[in-house]
Amino acid sequence: MEYEYNFETPFSVSDGMRDKFNENGVIMVRNLLSKEEVDYIMASMQAPEFKQTMRGVDDGEGRKAHMNIWNQPGKDVTGMVGRCEKVVNTCEALLEGEVYHYHSKLMGKPPREGGRHLWHQDYGYWYQNGCLFPNMITVFIAMDKCEKANGCLQYLPGSHLCGRLDHHRLGGQFEADTDRIEDIKKHCPLAFAEMESGDALFMHCNVLHCSSANLSDKRRWALLCCYNRADNNPIIKHHHPQYTPLKKVTDESILSCTTMIDVEGKDFMPLGVDKTSLLEDVKA
């Protein structure tokens, strides 16, 4: 993969890496998190308080993809991931400006029943929240091994250059224009993000992506940290934060953090609440 890199300390984004990101809309950083860090983060996400906030999202085929979402990184272990320099500094270098934490989420696909995620762009959602420019990024960090069998991420490299597509609601999700996607695939061939635990995909908010259902006997968990550029403060006050200065921490803070879960500091979204609206929903 021409846009794949290995994490080494110290780590910084070179001009060549940024060029590859601008060209493809993604870069893969292998071993962004060590095995020790992944195990520690996984232990924190096994806390009852985390599991109580999990929701099922209908995929339109009778299965559900599991997730929980929090708006503020907080001072606990997952908060250290969302605030650590190797994540935040990389996002700022790729977007060429200060970023703030827009939200994070745990995406879970249990064995044999985890639902699919439909073709979409993250900006297909976030545009409706009043973010005027696509200066936004998602860091998809594999907690479990992600492979085709358990529903790894699929994406179209370079599709961010097509701009934002129209989306419509299907089940509990939004889906991008499927006819246009088929045309885009002729120019942006499908790629599978097969990842080991600890690998991270930095993805521009307009990259088209999806994932299939998990029909295997292996769980697929991923931690996603999403960021907005500071000068792209949403014009609509909504369920995700307006610009809030992000207090970075050192990479060592992940393993040195002794607060496994701090519910009060994270602003979890309530179960069963879907506050993102399409423009036609608003007009109706």
Residue 67's pLDDT is: 86
Residue 227's pLDDT is: 99
Is residue 278 helix, strand or coil?
Answer: coil
- Looking at every residue in the chain, the average pLDDT score rounds to 92
Which residues have a Cβ under 8 Å from the Cβ of 46 and sit 6 or more positions away? Answer: none
Give the residue-averaged pLDDT of 246-261. Answer: 98
Whether residue 235 is predicted with pLDDT greater than 70 in this model: the reply is yes
**Considering the domain 4-283, what is its CATH architecture?**
Sandwich (2.60)
Q: Which two tokens stand for residue 113?
A: 């029943």
Phi, psi of 237 (to 5 degrees): -75, 125
pLDDT band for position 278 (50/70/90)? very low
Of 43-47, 53-57, 80-84, 275-279, the one with minimum mean pLDDT is 275-279
Owner of token pair 């696509």 = 134
Please list the residues that pair with 120 across neighbouring strands: 209
Residue 280's pLDDT is: 39
Burial class of residue 58 in the structure, from the number of CB atoms within 10 Å of its CB (0-12 exposed, 13-18 middle, 19+ buried): middle
Is residue 121 helix, strand or coil?
Answer: coil
Task: Specify the pTM.
Answer: 0.94
Whether residue 272 is predicted with pLDDT greater than 80 in this model: the reply is no
Q: Which two tokens stand for residue 160?
A: 């961010």
Domain boundaries, the chain: 4-283
> What is the per-residue pLDDT across 215-224, written as a single tens digit (0 to 9) for each?
999 999 999 9
Residue 283's pLDDT is: 31
Residue 274's pLDDT is: 53
Q: In terms of Cα–Cα distance, which of 209, 67, 224 is closest to 139?
A: 224
Give the residue-averaged pLDDT of 89-102. Answer: 98
Whether residue 171 is predicted with pLDDT greater than 80 in this model: the reply is no
Sign of the C-alpha dihedral computed for residues 166, 169, 173 and 175 taken in this order: negative
